[in-house]
Structure 1
């Protein structure tokens, strides 16, 4: 019998009490902080917001609102219900985040609450009207199991071991990605001896678009892949299918041809992908399709060079209501074209690096994926408790 089983048998053999977050935690919300505020108050203390990348960090400022063991969660947007644990740090949160502080830490382990909310919080997200939300009043009603403190601590110890191993693997993968980026940039840096061709001369350039949402016919029985940023985030950068499809009637003229590159020139600037099938893409993307006279250029070489182009895009924006690339300068951007043999050599090297860093079927990415699934399985199993019988049920017995 494991230590955890012994503790449960000794301390809560008949089940555990369930409590709401509002009963066990102080609940507060963050404050509005714009990018301008972050720029004007730049400093060392992290600000957490609604994204999940970089552990949810929005930026850094020279002051802080919190210095306590706590849990933050995302209240609004696509990541609503995501939770983060904080200890031994000074930080702030924006208005699209909330904060939980355990009231009685002599009986409740904050990290145990965090692990419970990883499973349960998403079930309380309201996705109506296209803007998912998990507001403070709803978070207060979230109900979680609350076994005796020694049981909580043992579960936390077990789950922490899983997360520590995953963190070690992730750190190793990040080191490999940095190595990959170094060699990628080195391989794609050329002297004046290599000829360069302007994007406008090399590609046919078209804008993506979104078919009318009011015309249901466009979105039913779709056969044409319609790519959005979500496709890149979920499935990588070399794609043959999209998460959503539209009908042939939604296409203006002809679909964009296979083996075209899509690159985001507004909103999430510089993100790009190589699409290996006929397709449509939304208006965030500019579509680059090789002109006939350049069909002997290796399209994957150009795809890899778009990492360089993407960084250029981030530094060449027009002023307006939202960020967008200076398209006049974009079309004049000149891409180096070494001999085809050299292009193929570069692609061969970068393909191997890319597989080691990103392929979920091999190497570290596969091991991290397997560990994450194992962790989620045991987390869900360890945090499943039968509730204590109610007083009415005890009376019947």
Structure 2
């Protein structure tokens, strides 16, 4: 018998529609851009809700609210939701208000709030876990409609049914999940700290290994075969769906039926904000059958060591001198070919790549090393959370 089954033994579980047990209210109305500077109150933003399981009053921004202005104030016990998202499952992300505020707090206009009726016994601390559970996320996603952006339908949202276990059981579930959350957070913090240290160590050795004398450099155009002329962009509406990865400037953007390349290549971003922001690597290796559009350069090398060596080096240096355009950064073919790359012996490249590959696996691979361990901890937490929040449905 599971932990939840023991808790629920002999208990009649109530399920009620949100529209019958709560009030749904909107966010701030009639506000202009100027109202969000030097305000006299605080407001919960879209990001506050989306990224946090509970409202963090220390991270709220200011808003101007005039005396007597009719706006809903956020209260202890409310559950706040994002109204829309580009992904259906992320529309309606929730954040529970689990503490009182001494100041007035409002909700931004891109979100909506749910306030339970006074006769409904449901703990805010229980709500924060309930509405972030997978089964509730899926149920809310089904109320979202749209094509390019999904919006939660309030009418459908009100019909959603939620379980309302007795307060005693809610408290026990909260106690268990709070304890598990604390342990998971501690373990994740330890692993993240270690991962950060490993990344610093990796950066140090990468810098040491990729530092060469000026006379050891060669232009990239002389080290690789450029296959840009074979690229073929396909408009999204004309692509035939398949299993072949279709690459753009920063990675896979779609899967198509056919391919134009088959083998191991190094792709390098040709344009886009990431050339300067560098949130993701601008150089990345690919293998097998693939299709590449005109937003990524395609380079072919004779050996694995040569390709990976250039990949590591390009991702470690500042490419600003080679990038043109301000509004739309671009690394054109001519500038790409002119980038100076260290060119030690193939034996030395192999030695350096072997070392950096090990660090790369340890620090960045999701299938090996510390990132995998962190991911497993999170999945373990989610597994037990779902077990504790999966209640038997009423039999009518």
Match of residue 246, structure 2, among 218, 226, 250 = 226
The question of whether the paired residues in 1 share the 8 Å contact of 2:96 and 2:127 is answered with no
The question of whether the paired residues in 2 share the 8 Å contact of 1:259 and 1:289 is answered with yes
Structure 1 residue 287 corresponds to structure 2 residue 297: yes
Structure 1 residue 304 corresponds to structure 2 residue 312: yes
Structure 2: gaps spanning 5 or more residues: 65-72
Residue in structure 1 matched with residue 202 of structure 2 by the alignment: 184
Separation in structure 1 between the aligned mates of residue 304 and residue 365 of structure 2, nearest angstrom: 28
Measure how far apart 1:167 and its partner are: 2.4
Measure how far apart 1:209 and its partner are: 5.6
Residue in structure 2 matched with residue 143 of structure 1 by the alignment: 161
Measure how far apart 1:244 and its partner are: 1.7
Q: Say which SS state the counterpart of residue 260 (structure 1) adopts.
A: strand
Match of residue 375, structure 1, among 381, 387, 390 = 381
Count the aligned residue pairs: 361
Match of residue 344, structure 1, among 345, 350, 356 = 350
Separation in structure 2 between the aligned mates of residue 143 and residue 276 of structure 1, nearest angstrom: 47
Residue in structure 2 matched with residue 196 of structure 1 by the alignment: 217
Residue in structure 1 matched with residue 47 of structure 2 by the alignment: 49
Residue in structure 1 matched with residue 69 of structure 2 by the alignment: none
Measure how far apart 1:36 and its partner are: 12
Residue in structure 1 matched with residue 172 of structure 2 by the alignment: 154
Measure how far apart 1:103 and its partner are: 5.8
Residue in structure 2 matched with residue 239 of structure 1 by the alignment: none
Residue in structure 2 matched with residue 19 of structure 1 by the alignment: 17
Q: Spell out, residue by residue over 1:151-180, the C-alpha distance to the aligned partner (whole angstroms, 9 max, x if none).
A: 122112222333333323332333233223
Separation in structure 2 between the aligned mates of residue 228 and residue 332 of structure 1, nearest angstrom: 22
Q: Spell out, residue by residue over 1:185-213, the C-alpha distance to the aligned partner (whole angstroms, 9 max, x if none).
A: 32343254463344455452639664244
Please give the root-mean-square deviation of Cα atoms over the aligned residues, in Å: 4.9
Match of residue 255, structure 2, among 225, 234, 244 = 244
Deviates further, 82-91 or 157-166: 82-91
Structure 1 residue 115 corresponds to structure 2 residue 129: yes
Measure how far apart 1:260 and its partner are: 1.9
Match of residue 206, structure 1, among 228, 240, 247 = 228
Over 3 Å counting, the alpha-carbon distance change for 1:36 and 1:303 in structure 2 is: farther
Q: Say which SS state the counterpart of residue 16 (structure 2) adopts.
A: strand
Matches within 5 A, 1:50-89: 63=62, 71-74=79-82, 75-78=84-87, 79-85=90-96
Match of residue 266, structure 2, among 257, 260, 263 = 260
Separation in structure 1 between the aligned mates of residue 316 and residue 36 of structure 2, nearest angstrom: 27
Residue in structure 2 matched with residue 324 of structure 1 by the alignment: 329
Separation in structure 1 between the aligned mates of residue 81 and residue 150 of structure 2, nearest angstrom: 13
Separation in structure 2 between the aligned mates of residue 183 and residue 35 of structure 1, nearest angstrom: 44
Structure 1: gaps spanning 5 or more residues: 233-241, 249-253
Q: Say which SS state the counterpart of residue 299 (structure 2) adopts.
A: strand
Measure how far apart 1:16 and its partner are: 1.7
Q: Say which SS state the counterpart of residue 63 (structure 1) adopts.
A: strand
The question of whether the paired residues in 2 share the 8 Å contact of 1:4 and 1:154 is answered with no
Matches within 5 A, 1:379-390: 379-388=385-394
